[in-house]
Amino acid sequence: MFQGIPSDLPATTSDPPSRLTTYGRYKSILVEKESYLSELSRYIHLNPVRTRELESEDAKVRCHYLLDYPWSTLPGYLNVKDRWPGVDYGLVLVEFGGDNPKGRLGYGKRIREDLVGGIELKGKIVGGCVLGRAGYIQWVREKHIKELPVGDYTGYKALKRYRSKEQVLDLLAVETGLSLEEIKSSKGDRRRLAMELLYRVGGLTGDEIGSLFGIGASAVSQERKRLVSRMAEDEPLKKLFEELFSKCSV
Protein backbone atom coordinates (compact mmCIF):
# COMPACT_ATOMS: atom_id res chain seq x y z
CA MET A 1 0.00 0.00 0.00
CA PHE A 2 2.76 2.42 0.84
CA GLN A 3 5.38 3.34 -1.72
CA GLY A 4 8.54 5.40 -1.27
CA ILE A 5 9.83 4.98 2.27
CA PRO A 6 9.94 1.36 3.41
CA SER A 7 7.06 0.55 5.76
CA ASP A 8 9.34 -1.56 7.94
CA LEU A 9 11.57 1.28 9.22
CA PRO A 10 12.51 0.49 12.83
CA ALA A 11 10.42 2.12 15.53
CA THR A 12 12.13 1.35 18.82
CA THR A 13 11.50 3.22 22.04
CA SER A 14 14.67 5.23 21.43
CA ASP A 15 13.51 6.48 18.05
CA PRO A 16 11.72 9.83 17.60
CA PRO A 17 7.94 9.27 17.36
CA SER A 18 7.05 8.82 13.69
CA ARG A 19 4.09 8.01 11.53
CA LEU A 20 3.93 6.75 7.95
CA THR A 21 1.05 8.64 6.37
CA THR A 22 -0.52 8.48 2.93
CA TYR A 23 -0.32 11.68 0.89
CA GLY A 24 -1.77 11.99 -2.57
CA ARG A 25 -2.91 8.96 -4.54
CA TYR A 26 0.13 6.68 -4.53
CA LYS A 27 2.50 8.42 -2.15
CA SER A 28 3.46 8.29 1.52
CA ILE A 29 5.55 10.44 3.81
CA LEU A 30 7.22 9.93 7.16
CA VAL A 31 5.86 12.42 9.71
CA GLU A 32 7.18 13.54 13.09
CA LYS A 33 4.10 12.82 15.16
CA GLU A 34 4.34 15.53 17.82
CA SER A 35 5.12 18.38 15.42
CA TYR A 36 3.18 17.83 12.23
CA LEU A 37 0.75 14.89 12.30
CA SER A 38 -2.26 17.03 13.23
CA GLU A 39 -1.31 19.71 10.72
CA LEU A 40 -0.95 17.13 7.95
CA SER A 41 -4.28 15.57 8.86
CA ARG A 42 -6.04 18.94 8.62
CA TYR A 43 -4.27 19.73 5.35
CA ILE A 44 -5.54 16.48 3.81
CA HIS A 45 -9.05 17.06 5.16
CA LEU A 46 -9.13 20.44 3.40
CA ASN A 47 -8.07 19.01 0.03
CA PRO A 48 -11.65 18.60 -1.31
CA VAL A 49 -12.24 22.38 -1.24
CA ARG A 50 -8.98 23.28 -3.00
CA THR A 51 -10.71 23.69 -6.34
CA ARG A 52 -11.41 26.67 -8.57
CA GLU A 53 -15.13 26.26 -8.01
CA LEU A 54 -14.91 26.33 -4.22
CA GLU A 55 -11.95 28.63 -3.50
CA SER A 56 -14.13 31.71 -4.02
CA GLU A 57 -16.93 30.46 -1.77
CA ASP A 58 -17.17 31.58 1.84
CA ALA A 59 -16.00 29.37 4.70
CA LYS A 60 -19.52 28.26 5.64
CA VAL A 61 -20.21 26.84 2.17
CA ARG A 62 -16.85 25.07 2.03
CA CYS A 63 -17.36 23.67 5.53
CA HIS A 64 -20.69 22.12 4.52
CA TYR A 65 -19.04 20.68 1.42
CA LEU A 66 -16.30 19.07 3.53
CA LEU A 67 -18.79 17.48 5.89
CA ASP A 68 -20.79 16.06 2.98
CA TYR A 69 -17.75 14.83 1.05
CA PRO A 70 -18.26 11.03 0.92
CA TRP A 71 -14.60 9.94 0.76
CA SER A 72 -13.31 11.96 3.73
CA THR A 73 -12.64 10.74 7.27
CA LEU A 74 -13.24 14.26 8.64
CA PRO A 75 -16.79 13.62 9.93
CA GLY A 76 -15.43 10.84 12.14
CA TYR A 77 -13.09 13.30 13.85
CA LEU A 78 -16.12 15.39 14.80
CA ASN A 79 -18.72 12.71 15.57
CA VAL A 80 -18.10 9.10 16.61
CA LYS A 81 -21.17 7.83 14.74
CA ASP A 82 -19.55 8.86 11.43
CA ARG A 83 -16.37 6.84 11.88
CA TRP A 84 -14.72 4.44 9.49
CA PRO A 85 -13.31 1.11 10.69
CA GLY A 86 -9.54 0.86 10.80
CA VAL A 87 -8.88 4.60 11.34
CA ASP A 88 -7.02 5.59 14.53
CA TYR A 89 -8.77 8.90 15.23
CA GLY A 90 -7.24 9.26 18.67
CA LEU A 91 -3.74 9.51 17.22
CA VAL A 92 -4.53 12.97 15.85
CA LEU A 93 -7.09 14.06 18.44
CA VAL A 94 -4.61 13.66 21.30
CA GLU A 95 -3.22 17.12 20.41
CA PHE A 96 -6.66 18.60 21.11
CA GLY A 97 -7.30 16.86 24.41
CA GLY A 98 -7.95 13.29 23.32
CA ASP A 99 -10.67 11.27 21.65
CA ASN A 100 -13.48 12.86 23.63
CA PRO A 101 -16.01 15.69 23.14
CA LYS A 102 -13.40 18.33 23.99
CA GLY A 103 -10.87 16.93 21.51
CA ARG A 104 -13.43 16.60 18.72
CA LEU A 105 -14.66 20.17 19.27
CA GLY A 106 -11.07 21.41 19.27
CA TYR A 107 -10.31 19.67 15.97
CA GLY A 108 -13.44 21.10 14.38
CA LYS A 109 -12.50 24.58 15.53
CA ARG A 110 -9.04 24.30 13.95
CA ILE A 111 -10.56 23.05 10.68
CA ARG A 112 -12.79 26.14 10.57
CA GLU A 113 -9.80 28.39 11.32
CA ASP A 114 -7.78 26.72 8.57
CA LEU A 115 -10.64 27.23 6.12
CA VAL A 116 -10.32 30.96 6.69
CA GLY A 117 -6.58 31.35 7.24
CA GLY A 118 -5.33 28.54 5.02
CA ILE A 119 -2.71 25.88 5.71
CA GLU A 120 0.34 25.08 3.58
CA LEU A 121 2.62 22.07 3.95
CA LYS A 122 4.09 21.17 0.58
CA GLY A 123 7.11 23.42 0.98
CA LYS A 124 7.91 21.85 4.35
CA ILE A 125 8.13 18.27 3.10
CA VAL A 126 11.80 17.50 2.47
CA GLY A 127 12.38 15.44 -0.63
CA GLY A 128 8.64 14.96 -0.92
CA CYS A 129 8.82 12.32 1.79
CA VAL A 130 9.74 13.55 5.29
CA LEU A 131 7.86 16.11 7.38
CA GLY A 132 9.25 17.28 10.70
CA ARG A 133 11.57 19.63 12.51
CA ALA A 134 15.21 19.97 11.47
CA GLY A 135 16.45 17.55 14.13
CA TYR A 136 13.96 14.89 13.10
CA ILE A 137 14.80 15.17 9.40
CA GLN A 138 18.48 14.92 10.25
CA TRP A 139 17.77 11.81 12.34
CA VAL A 140 15.93 10.14 9.45
CA ARG A 141 18.71 11.10 7.07
CA GLU A 142 21.53 9.79 9.26
CA LYS A 143 19.85 6.64 10.51
CA HIS A 144 17.84 5.40 7.56
CA ILE A 145 19.26 6.88 4.35
CA LYS A 146 21.11 3.62 3.58
CA GLU A 147 17.87 1.63 3.86
CA LEU A 148 16.09 3.61 1.13
CA PRO A 149 15.87 2.00 -2.33
CA VAL A 150 17.80 4.48 -4.49
CA GLY A 151 16.42 3.29 -7.80
CA ASP A 152 12.77 3.43 -6.77
CA TYR A 153 12.82 6.34 -4.39
CA THR A 154 12.42 9.78 -6.01
CA GLY A 155 13.16 11.77 -2.86
CA TYR A 156 16.43 9.98 -2.11
CA LYS A 157 18.72 12.68 -3.50
CA ALA A 158 16.86 15.53 -1.80
CA LEU A 159 16.94 13.78 1.56
CA LYS A 160 20.58 12.77 1.16
CA ARG A 161 21.71 16.36 0.60
CA TYR A 162 19.49 17.81 3.34
CA ARG A 163 21.19 19.97 5.95
CA SER A 164 19.55 21.99 8.71
CA LYS A 165 19.39 25.75 8.47
CA GLU A 166 22.03 26.09 11.17
CA GLN A 167 24.45 23.78 9.34
CA VAL A 168 24.07 25.72 6.09
CA LEU A 169 24.63 29.07 7.81
CA ASP A 170 27.63 27.73 9.73
CA LEU A 171 29.21 26.51 6.50
CA LEU A 172 28.58 29.88 4.81
CA ALA A 173 30.21 31.66 7.74
CA VAL A 174 33.31 29.46 7.45
CA GLU A 175 33.58 29.69 3.66
CA THR A 176 32.78 33.41 3.24
CA GLY A 177 33.99 34.79 6.56
CA LEU A 178 30.63 36.52 7.02
CA SER A 179 28.11 36.12 9.83
CA LEU A 180 24.39 35.82 9.16
CA GLU A 181 23.87 39.49 10.01
CA GLU A 182 26.63 40.48 7.61
CA ILE A 183 25.17 38.29 4.87
CA LYS A 184 21.71 39.76 5.48
CA SER A 185 23.00 43.32 5.16
CA SER A 186 25.27 42.63 2.16
CA LYS A 187 22.41 42.62 -0.39
CA GLY A 188 24.51 40.99 -3.10
CA ASP A 189 25.69 37.64 -4.37
CA ARG A 190 26.61 36.32 -0.92
CA ARG A 191 23.07 36.86 0.27
CA ARG A 192 21.69 35.24 -2.86
CA LEU A 193 23.97 32.25 -2.34
CA ALA A 194 22.65 31.89 1.21
CA MET A 195 19.04 31.99 0.02
CA GLU A 196 19.64 29.41 -2.69
CA LEU A 197 21.44 27.01 -0.36
CA LEU A 198 18.83 27.40 2.37
CA TYR A 199 16.16 26.57 -0.19
CA ARG A 200 17.92 23.69 -1.93
CA VAL A 201 19.64 21.92 0.97
CA GLY A 202 18.31 23.61 4.10
CA GLY A 203 14.71 22.56 3.65
CA LEU A 204 13.34 26.11 4.04
CA THR A 205 10.42 27.51 2.06
CA GLY A 206 10.43 30.91 0.38
CA ASP A 207 8.37 32.32 3.25
CA GLU A 208 10.78 30.96 5.86
CA ILE A 209 13.82 32.33 4.02
CA GLY A 210 12.06 35.68 3.61
CA SER A 211 11.34 35.81 7.34
CA LEU A 212 15.01 35.15 8.06
CA PHE A 213 16.16 37.95 5.77
CA GLY A 214 13.34 40.39 6.45
CA ILE A 215 11.80 40.25 2.96
CA GLY A 216 8.82 38.60 1.29
CA ALA A 217 8.72 35.23 -0.42
CA SER A 218 8.39 36.86 -3.86
CA ALA A 219 11.55 38.88 -3.21
CA VAL A 220 13.36 35.66 -2.26
CA SER A 221 12.26 34.12 -5.56
CA GLN A 222 13.54 37.15 -7.48
CA GLU A 223 16.90 37.06 -5.69
CA ARG A 224 17.32 33.37 -6.49
CA LYS A 225 16.54 34.05 -10.15
CA ARG A 226 19.13 36.85 -10.17
CA LEU A 227 21.71 34.42 -8.81
CA VAL A 228 21.04 32.01 -11.68
CA SER A 229 21.47 34.86 -14.18
CA ARG A 230 24.63 36.08 -12.47
CA MET A 231 26.19 32.61 -12.43
CA ALA A 232 25.60 32.29 -16.18
CA GLU A 233 27.86 35.33 -16.65
CA ASP A 234 30.25 34.96 -13.71
CA GLU A 235 32.27 31.73 -13.73
CA PRO A 236 33.98 32.29 -10.33
CA LEU A 237 30.55 32.86 -8.72
CA LYS A 238 29.22 29.70 -10.31
CA LYS A 239 32.25 27.75 -9.08
CA LEU A 240 31.80 29.13 -5.55
CA PHE A 241 28.16 28.04 -5.51
CA GLU A 242 29.03 24.57 -6.78
CA GLU A 243 31.69 24.20 -4.08
CA LEU A 244 29.31 25.33 -1.35
CA PHE A 245 26.52 23.11 -2.65
CA SER A 246 28.89 20.15 -2.77
CA LYS A 247 30.06 20.72 0.82
CA CYS A 248 26.49 21.14 2.05
CA SER A 249 25.45 17.93 0.33
CA VAL A 250 28.16 15.69 1.71
Question: What share of the chain in percent tops pLDDT 70?
Answer: 67
pLDDT in tens, 127-179: 666 666 666 666 766 666 655 555 544 555 555 555 667 778 888 888 888 88
Contact 75, 48 (CB under 8 A): no
> What's the CA gap between 249 and 22, in Å, rounded?
28
Q: Phi then psi for 204, rounded to 5 degrees?
A: -90, 145
Q: Which of 40-54, 71-85, 99-113, 162-176 has the lowest mean pLDDT?
A: 162-176
| Residue ranges of domains in the chain | 18-122, 165-249
> What's the CA gap between 234 and 248, in Å, rounded?
21
pLDDT at 73 exceeding the cut of 60: yes
> What's the CA gap between 171 and 194, in Å, rounded?
10
Contact 58, 112 (CB under 8 A): no
| Residues 231-245, mean pLDDT to the nearest whole number | 90
- C-alpha 70, offset from chain centre: 27
> What's the CA gap between 158 and 144, in Å, rounded?
14
Predicted confidence at residue 109, as pLDDT, reads: 92
DSSP for the chain, written as a single string? ---SS-TT----TTSPPEEEEE-SSS-EEEEEHHHHHHHHHHHHHTGGG-SHHHHTS-HHHHHHHHHH-TT-SHHHHH-GGGPPTT--HHHHHGGGTSSSHHHHHHHHHHHHHHHHH----GGGSBTTTEES-HHHHHHHHHHHGGGS-TTT-TTHHHHHT---HHHHHHHHHHHH---HHHHHHH-SHHHHHHHHHHHHTS---HHHHHHHHTS-HHHHHHHHHHHHHHHHH-HHHHHHHHHHHHHHH-
For residue 69, name the pLDDT band (cuts at 50, 70, 90). very high
Which is nearest to 163 in space by CA: 201, 123, 132? 201
CATH code, 165-249: 1.10.1750.10
| Residues 215-234, mean pLDDT to the nearest whole number | 91
Predicted confidence at residue 32, as pLDDT, reads: 63
Q: Measured at the alpha carbon of residue 127, what is the angle toward residues 123 and 129, in degrees to the nearest 5?
A: 90
- C-alpha 67, offset from chain centre: 26
pLDDT in tens, 7-61: 333 333 344 544 444 444 445 666 766 667 888 899 889 989 988 888 888 888 9
Contact 87, 73 (CB under 8 A): yes
Predicted confidence at residue 180, as pLDDT, reads: 77
> What's the CA gap between 93 and 62, in Å, rounded?
22
